Amino acid sequence: KAVTESERLAVSRVFESGQALALFSLAQQQGLEGIVAKHKDSLYFQGKRTKTWLKMKNLMDDDYVVCGWIPKDNHMTSIVLGQYDGRKLLYKGHVTLGVGGAAFAKIKAQPRVDHPPFDEPIPPGHGNEDAIWVAPTLVCTVEYMHKTKTGGMRQPVFKGLREDKRPEECMTK
């Protein structure tokens, strides 16, 4: 069956290797998730990764206030995130991938608070009822694919803590 183009899928023409970065830059400008590039003569093998196909993702990042953490199964942990809208600290979701090491040890050592530090109620579920809340004094960077229609991050990854930024500087966009 032939693949047809749509508003969500563009079938590429042949580009030389020097043009791939220009094409990726164009994808970024248009807010697309990224592009898939391949060698001109390579074949596709279903379910198998090869070095002749390359996925180039349009990743974004943003800074968030660390507001708590949630212990999960399989020794995983999620960090609960917030950002300021003016003077109000708002709930912005979680990040699980990349959480660990010295950065998480520093988060765990933060003074605990009895209630979520947000200025508005947080949504139920997502493990928030099991969160261990901390004083909102640390800032972290999170990388993600894009924001969903509801404002959540798609495929967020914790990239580390920032010592050079105050929590009040983490503003919603």
For residue 173, what are its two tokens? 């966009």
The model's pTM is: 0.76
Q: Does residue 33 surpass a pLDDT of 70?
A: yes
Average per-residue pLDDT for the chain: 88
Total residues belonging to the chain: 173
The answer to whether 73 and 84 have CB atoms below 8 angstroms apart is no
Nearest to 67 by CA among 8, 10, 122: 122
pLDDT: which is higher, 127 or 79: 79
Percent of the chain with pLDDT over 70: 99
Per-residue model confidence as pLDDT tens digits over 63-100: 999 999 999 888 899 999 999 999 999 999 999 999 99
Average the pLDDT over 15-36 and give the result: 75
Question: How far is Cα 39 from Cα 61, in angstroms, rounded to an integer?
Answer: 30
Question: How far is Cα 101 from Cα 86, in angstroms, rounded to an integer?
Answer: 32
